[in-house]
Amino acid sequence: MRRWIVGIVMLIGLASPAHAAARCDEACLSAILDRYLTALAAHDPKAAPLAANVRFSENDVMLQPGDGLWQTISTVDRAKELRFFDPEKQEIGYVGVVEEHGLGAYIAARFKVRDGAIAEVETIVHRKEPGPGIDPKLFTPDPEFARVLGRAERTPRARMIELANGYFATLQLNDGKIFTVFDPDCRRLENGQPTAGAPTAEWPKLTGCAHQLELGELKRITAARDRTSFAIDESRGLILTRIFLDHAGVPAEYKRTDGTMMSAAPHVVPQSWCALELFKVVSGKLRRIEAVMIGCPYKIPTPWRAAN
């Protein structure tokens, strides 16, 4: 009997928190991110807190740490970064600006941490190419993203996922039906360029987030696929989502819900866009949307499908 009791006690001890996998709080995750960014700017992956079997991608291609941006980066613009954390899932979200040989680029990334080391890194780096975007050197971060929400403004994580999914369901074959909830002050940026929101002197042709989609202006998007959400920071109301937006290239023009015609240009050839898209959710409504996105081959599969 005594041996049986000792055995039970030993099993309980092994299952206790002292033997559980190490978990990081927000400060710990932030320190890990700091070490990664410092190593990246120094072109030294060995200095980054990477797991031995880390999986790393840049622009939907699996690479080894040390390749791609690791080789060409000059600086990380720490004044233009946004970092956010999901201690429950041990995930980090990051949106910012880097420089390569004097040329600015937008970057979005998500990190998965296990036992105090980075096990997964997925990055989208937008360098100058056709499509939406402004010079990263001219980009000014919106402080609303970093603002910590009051308790009454926060939204449960499950509902945040529903709102992000509803946004992409609205984009897909956009026919005017809305499957999410927009704040009246909603604004959207794509590679730093405003693409939805209240008109301004600099961007006089902007249309509100909800109104744009009620008109069916994005009907040219034929699929919003392979979407997965990461780094859900309820305190700041932030959720990062990977998405692939397919454009079949037809028709060349289409009718809005108000009866007016709209050109599909430049999306008149088969093409896809991949984005890491960040949502700010306030009181159950999408208030801000910011995407770092790149053009890619039509219907390219995500290299992360097996890992999700």
For residue 191, the SS3 value is coil
Dihedral sign from CA coordinates of 150, 152, 156, 162: negative
Do 239 and 279 form a contact (C-beta atoms < 8 A)?
yes
Handedness of CA 306, 222, 288, 152 (dihedral sign): negative
Q: Which of 132, 139, 120 is nearest to 231 (CA)?
A: 120
Which pLDDT belongs to residue 268? Answer: 83
In-domain check, residue 5: no
12 pLDDT higher than 90: no
pTM, full prediction: 0.87
Tens-place pLDDT, residues 105-119: 999 999 999 999 999
Domain assignment present for 14: no
Q: Which residue has the tokens 């999306």?
A: 267
Q: Are residues 222 and 112 in the same domain?
A: no
Q: Which of 113, 133, 153 is the last residue of a domain?
A: 133
Residue 1 has pLDDT above 70, yes or no: no
Total domain count, the chain: 2
Angle at 138 between CA 189 and CA 297, to 5 degrees: 50
> Does residue 204 surpass a pLDDT of 70?
yes
| Among 111, 133, 155, residue at a domain's last position | 133
The answer to whether position 34 is within a domain reads yes
> Alpha helix locations (H) across the chain?
2-15, 26-41, 69-72, 143-146, 157-171, 209-214
| Residue 54 pLDDT > 70 | yes
- Residue found under tokens 């070490």: 35
Q: Is residue 171 part of a domain?
A: yes
Burial category of 88 from C-beta neighbours within 10 Å (exposed 0-12, middle 13-18, buried 19 and up): exposed
Phi, psi of 94 (to 5 degrees): -150, 135
| Region 246-256 average pLDDT | 91
The reported pLDDT for the residue numbered 266 is 83
Report d(CA 12, CA 4) in Å as an integer: 13
Alpha-carbon dihedral 165, 122, 103, 36, rounded to 10 degrees:
130
- Is the pLDDT at 7 greater than 60? The verdict is no
Q: Report the candidate in 245, 79, 90, 270 with the shortest Cα–Cα distance to residue 167.
A: 245
Domain carrying residue 74? 22-133
| Banded model confidence at residue 20, pLDDT cuts 50, 70, 90 | very low
Percentage of the residues of the chain whose pLDDT score is greater than 70: 92
| Residue 136 in this model has a pLDDT that exceeds 70 | yes
Kind of pairing, strands 253-255 and 261-263? antiparallel
Per-residue pLDDT, averaged over 219-245, amounts to: 97
DSSP string, 15-43: HSGGGSPP---HHHHHHHHHHHHHHHHTT
Q: How far apart are CA 224 and CA 226, in angstroms?
A: 7
Express each pLDDT in 140-197 by its tens digit. 999 999 999 999 999 999 999 999 999 999 999 999 999 999 999 999 999 999 999 9
Integer CA distances (angstroms), 129 to 75, 103, 118, 134, 144, in order:
21, 12, 30, 11, 28
Domain stop point among 94, 115, 133: 133
* pLDDT class of 306 with cuts at 50, 70, 90: low
**What is the model's pLDDT at position 234?**
98
Q: Above pLDDT 90, what percent of the chain?
A: 85
| pLDDT over threshold 90, residue 128 | no
Query: Do 106 and 250 lie in a common domain?
Result: no
Please check the confidence at residue 307 and state whether its pLDDT lies above 70.
Answer: no
The pLDDT of residue 4 is 45
Shared-domain flag, residues 284 and 182: yes
Residue 135 predicted with pLDDT over 50: yes
The model's confidence at residue 28, banded by pLDDT at 50, 70 and 90, is: very high
Average pLDDT of the residues of the chain: 92
Coil, helix or strand at residue 120? strand
Say yes or no: 166 and 242 in one domain: yes
Instruction: Identify the pLDDT of residue 167.
Output: 98
- The arithmetic mean of pLDDT across residues 264-292, rounded, is 94
Closest residue by Cα to residue 30 from 76, 94, 77: 94
Q: What are phi and psi of 148, to 5 degrees?
A: -80, 130
Same domain, 302 and 156: yes
Q: How confident is the model at residue 308 (pLDDT cuts 50, 70, 90)?
A: low
Q: Which CATH number covers residue 118?
A: 3.10.450.50
Q: Are residues 36 and 66 in the same domain?
A: yes
Q: What band does 10 get if pLDDT is binned at 50, 70 and 90?
A: very low
User: Under a CB-based contact definition with an 8 Å cutoff, are residues 275 and 242 in contact?
Assistant: yes
